[in-house]
Amino acid sequence: MPRPASHRLLRIMGLVSLCATLGACATYRDIPPNSPRSVVLDTMGQPNFTCPLPDGGVRAIWTRQPNGQYAFGTRFNSAGVADRVESILTDENFRKLDKGVWTPNDVTCEFGPPARVTRVGLGEKNEVVWEYRYKQSNVWNSLMYIYLGRDGQQVTHHHPGPDPAYEYEFEFMGF
């Protein structure tokens, strides 16, 4: 027995609605490399941090600092084409700090603004420290500590550590 037209119409409307809902859940991983700015902005929205690049392009960052643990970035060339959108608060990306000289501007343009800026140490060891909240290995609630020397002008070293904002989880579980 054939179904009434209204039943078919409802099924079609339901499928269209489902497709629209799934399409609204697009993430940075859905953006192919070499996408135009309009495609990136349609998916990611406006970046909340940008830096001009020497070649006339722009570094764009979507960050959830100071309380979030994720940030995403891309480089738009002077024609407005993105290289690729990637997660930038990762151990692999932080390893870039091991090579070359990194100024505060370089760090900000690579990782976005830090969650917090502090000073630690005594005497000669007193240094400016930038903290980035992130999910280490996509599992651990962590901070990446980036030390910028006494004068705050150049990265001297960096290391991850547990994020004290999440200590309550262990207290609640009886640890």
The verdict on residue 143 lying in a domain is: yes
Q: Are 61 and 49 in contact (CB under 8 A)?
A: yes
Lowest-pLDDT range of 66-75, 105-114, 122-131: 122-131
Average pLDDT of every residue of the chain: 87
The verdict on residue 160 lying in a domain is: yes
Tell me the residue range of the domain where 150 lies.
100-175
Q: Are 17 and 9 in contact (CB under 8 A)?
A: no
pLDDT at 10 over 80: no
What are 77-118's pLDDT values in tens digits?
Answer: 999 999 999 999 999 999 999 999 999 999 999 999 999 999
Provide the number of structural domains found in the chain: 2
The verdict on residue 65 lying in a domain is: yes
Lowest-pLDDT range of 63-67, 114-118, 146-150, 168-172: 168-172
The verdict on residue 18 lying in a domain is: no
The verdict on residue 114 lying in a domain is: yes
The verdict on residue 1 lying in a domain is: no
Domain's final residue, options 40, 68, 88: 88
Q: Is 17 helix (H, G, I), strand (E, B) or coil?
A: helix
Q: Do 72 and 107 fall into the same domain? A: no
Q: Do 77 and 146 fall into the same domain? A: no
pLDDT at 25 over 90: no
